[in-house]
Structure 1
Amino acid sequence: MILTTLGLMSGTSLDGVDVALLETDGRRIKAFGPTGYRPYSASERSLLRQALTEAVHLDSREARPGALRAAEEAVTVAHAEAVAAFLAQNRLAAQDIDIIGFHGQTVLHRPERRLTVQIGDAAVLAKVIHVPVMHDFRAADVEAGGQGAPFVPVYHRALVQSLGREGPVAVVNIGGVSNITYIDGEQTLIACDTGPGNALLDDFMVRTTGQAFDQDGRMAALGTADEAWVAQALARPFFKLPPPKSLDRNDFADLALGGVSPADGAATLTAFTAAAIAQIVPLLPKVPRSWIICGGGARNLTMMQMLRQLLAPATVESAEAFGWSADAIEAQAFGFLAARGMKGLPLSYPTTTGVTMPMTGGMIARP
C-alpha cells in the first residue's frame, strides 16, 4: 500500500524546518513530492543554542527545565507553521496526508547512557495540523542498546537502489554532524557518524563574523587550513572506532582554534570535516567507488573540492546531480521512516546503530 507521507526535519545545524512530501510503501520510493522550508529566526536560533547548552545536564528524556521548555514550544510552533504554509502553497488538505514523520530537535544524544532527547510536542502538533504524527523514532533503538544514529540509512539505500549504480556507494549527509551510509548490494548496509559536519564551522562563523554559516564555502576559500591542528584533532579516539558509532552535536565543541582569522579558521574547520569523512575509508569493507554528498555541506564548494581531493579516484558528487534534494533529503527520510514505522518494518539494524537486532520504532500521536 502506497502512503502519502510528510517528513519534517530540524537538524543540528539549527537553520530551520525542512518539509518534504513522499509517496512510498516504506520499501521503495514511488514519487518525490514538493519540498518546503521554514527558517528559524535569529531569536529562535539563539533560544535553541541556549537549550543545547542547558541540555548537557539532562538525565531524563521527559525533563524540560529552564530554556528547554520555551525551546520545545518554539520548535512545535515552527513545525506547525511549516506544515500549514506547505499545505497552503501546494494546495493540499490535511486529509491528503496519511502520516507525518516528525523528528523534532535533538538537544542531547548520549547513547552510552541510553539517553537521546528530541524536543517538540507531537501531541500538540497532531491536534493543530489534524494529521497523525509519528515521532520518537530513536528511543526504542537507544533503549535496546543501539547508538540511535544515524537513522536514515534505510532511506539512503532506497535512493541508491533507484540508481542502479555499481557499488560500493557511500552516501554522506553533512549537517551539524556528518554521517555515512555504505551500501553494497541488497544486503550490505553499514552506517555511522564520521565526525563534525557544519556545527563547528557554523558556530565559528557566528562568533567571528555574525554570519550563520559559510555561504558556498567562500570564507574558507580565502583562508589556509592549519593541517597540524587538523591532524591533532583527528588523533581523538573516536576516529579509530569502527562503525557503528555516533556523536552529539557538541562532542568536539571543546576544540579551540586560537586567535586565527575568520578565513583561516573556516578553512581549518572545513578541512577537519572533510578529513574526518575520509578517515572512515579504512574502516569500511571495501573502498567506495562513488560518494554522494547531501545536506548543507553539499552546497559548500570548498568542502566539496576538499572531499574530491581526499577521496580520489572515487567520484564525489552532490545529491542534486541525481535529482535528489540535497536540502530536504533528511525530511524525506523521516517521511519514509514514518511509512516503515506504520508497517512495522525495521528502522535500524545492527550494522547501522549497533542494536542487537533489527528494530522498528516510532510512536503515533493522533489528532
Structure 2
Amino acid sequence: MSKRQGDTWRALGLMSGTSLDGIDVAVIETDGERVLRRGFAATYPYSEAFREKLHAGLAEATTLRTRTERPGRLMLLEQYLTELHAEAIGHYCADHEIEPDSIDLIGFHGQTVLHRPEAKLTVQLGDGPLLSRLSGRPVVYDLRAADVAAGGQGAPLAPAYHRALAAEIAERPLVVLNLGGVANVTWIGADGTLLAFDTGPASAMIDDWVKKTLGKPYDADGALAASGTIHADIVARWLNHPYFKTPPPKSLDRNAFDMEALAHLSPEDGAATLTAFSAAAAGAALEHFPEKPTLWVASGGGRRNATLMTMIANRVGTAVRPAEAFDIDGDGVEAEAWAFLAVRSRLGLPITYPGTTGVPQPLTGGVVAEAG
C-alpha cells in the first residue's frame, strides 16, 4: 500500500472483549496521530452456543505454552471465530452503506484466551491471513505480541488512542476508564504524559456470576447488584491480592480471581459483592497516579451498569461521566482504538510505551497480512 505518514487512512477496527459478548466494529479516519473522523460503531453479538464454546476454549487455553499452539478444539474455534469476524465486517459495511474497498486497513484484535505477560505469553484467537483473504483487505493483527516479547505487559494498548480522542477535553489530569471484562485506566497528564494499567475485574466476573446463577448474560443496569447485600469481608480478602499494591504498568487475566468465595451467596448478594469489588479495584488505582485526576471518562459496557458507576464515583471521589457526555461512543472506543493502532503499526509508529505497558522503550507492533 502506497499510503505514508501524513496521509489519511480509513481504518476499520474489530474488538472481541474479555466479556465474550460479541464483536465490536468501528471505522475511523486518521493520519495515525489525530482522529480526523469517527464513524458509526456497532456490536454483533455471539450466539449463546458460540459463547459456550468460547468458555470451553478458555479452559483449554490454560495449557498453552506458546502463542501458536492450537490444541483440541482451539484450531476449529479460531477458524470459526475468524469467519464470524468476516461476517461482521460484511454486515457492518452493508448496514452503514460503506464500500468494503474504501477501507484501507483492518485492525484485528481477536479473542484473548490467555494472558500471562510474566511468562511473555499472550494468546488471541484469530487468523489474520484468513481474515484478509475473506475480507479482501489488508489486516494488522497480533498487536500485543511484540510488546510482551520485549518484556511489556501487552496491555492496555488503547492509551495512545485515548490521548488522541481526549484532545478536545480541557480537564487535566484526565482518566479514561474502560469498563470491559477487565477494567483499565489511562491517566493523561497536562503535558500529555501517559500512565496506563489494568485496575482489576469490571464486567467479566459479574457476567460469569449472573450466567452461572440465573442463566442471564449480564446484570442489566446493575439492578441485581442494587437489590443485594455487599459482603465486605470477601471484597477485602480479594483486595489483599498483591496485584493491587504492585506499581504499574501491570495487566490482569480475566480469570485471576476465584469465585469460590461466593458459593454460599444468593445471586443478589454475589452480584452486589462482585460489583463492589470492581468499584474498589478502580478506586485502588488512585494510589498509583502521579496526581489525582479531575475527571474520569467511562467507556465500555460497564458504563451502563448504574450501580457500578455510582460505586466507582463514591470510591474515587471525583465525577465519573459516560463517554457520551463528550460526544464519544462508549461502545466503540476499543474497536476505534484497534483501527487507530493498525494505522500506527503500518506506519511504524509506537503503539506501546514505558508508562503504558512497561516496555523498555516506545515500541511498534503488529503483523500485516496483505490482501490477496
TM norm. shorter chain > 0.5? yes
1:358 corresponding residue in structure 2: 362
The offset of 1:365, in angstroms, is 0.6
Q: Which amino acid aligns with 2:330?
A: A
Match of 2:200 among 186, 190, 195: 195
SS of 1:20 mapped into structure 2: strand
Structure 2: gaps of 5 or more residues: 1-6
Which residue identity is paired with 1:183? I
Residues of 2 paired with 1:228 and 1:171: CA distance? 29
Q: CA shift at 1:66, angstroms? A: 1.1
Residue 70 (structure 1) aligned to one of 65, 76, 79: 76
Which of 274, 278, 288 aligns to 1:273? It is: 278
Secondary structure of 2:172's match?
Answer: coil
Tell me how far 1:85 sits from its aligned partner: 0.4
Distance, in Å, in 2 between the alignment partners of 1:253 and 1:125 is: 35
Asked if 1:58 is matched to 2:64, the reply is: yes
Identity of aligned residues (%): 50
| 2:176 equivalent to 1:171 | yes
**Cα distance in 2 for residues equivalent to 1:142 and 1:255:** 30
Equivalent residues of 1:152, 1:330 under 8 A apart:
yes
* Mapped pair 1:234 → 2:220: no
Q: How does 1:298-309 map to 2 (within 5 A)?
A: 298-309=303-314
- Structure 1 distance, partners of 2:351, 2:150, is 13
- Which position in structure 2 is the counterpart of 1:333? 337
Further displaced range: 34-43 or 16-25 = 34-43
Equivalent position amino acid for 2:228 in 1: G
Alignment map for 1:246-325 (pairs within 5 Å): 246-253=251-258, 255-312=260-317, 314-325=318-329
Contact in 1 for aligned 2:32/2:343 (Cα 8 Å): yes
Say whether the 8 Å CA contact 1:7–1:102 is kept in structure 2. yes
Is residue 152–residue 358 contact of structure 2 (8 Å, CA) maintained in 1?
yes
Cα distance between partner residues in 2 of 1:354 and 1:230: 28
Which of the residues 331, 342, 349 maps onto 2:346?
A: 342
Paired letter, 2:327: G
RMSD: 1.0
Deviation at 1:256, TM superposition (A): 2.2
Deviations 1:321-352 (A, max 9, x none): 11111111100000010111111110000010
Secondary structure class of the residue paired with 2:356: helix
1:153 counterpart (148, 154, 159): 159
- Structure 2 residue matching 1:350: 3-state secondary structure: coil
For normalisation by structure 1, the TM-score amounts to 0.98
Aligned partners of 2:102 and 2:161: how far apart in 1?
22
2:185 alignment partner, one of 169, 180, 197: 180
Tell me the equivalent position of 1:22. 28
- Greater shift after overlay, 322-331 or 246-255? 246-255
**Residues of 1 paired with 2:192 and 2:92: CA distance?**
36
Is the contact between residue 78 and residue 127 of structure 2 (CA under 8 Å) also seen in structure 1? yes
The two structures have a TM-score, normalised by structure 2, of: 0.96
Q: Is the 8 A contact 1:200 1:253 kept in 2?
A: no
Which AA in structure 1 matches 2:166? V
Match of 1:144 among 123, 126, 150: 150
The CA deviation at 1:253 is: 3.1
| 1:113 corresponding residue in structure 2 | 119
Q: How many residues align?
A: 365
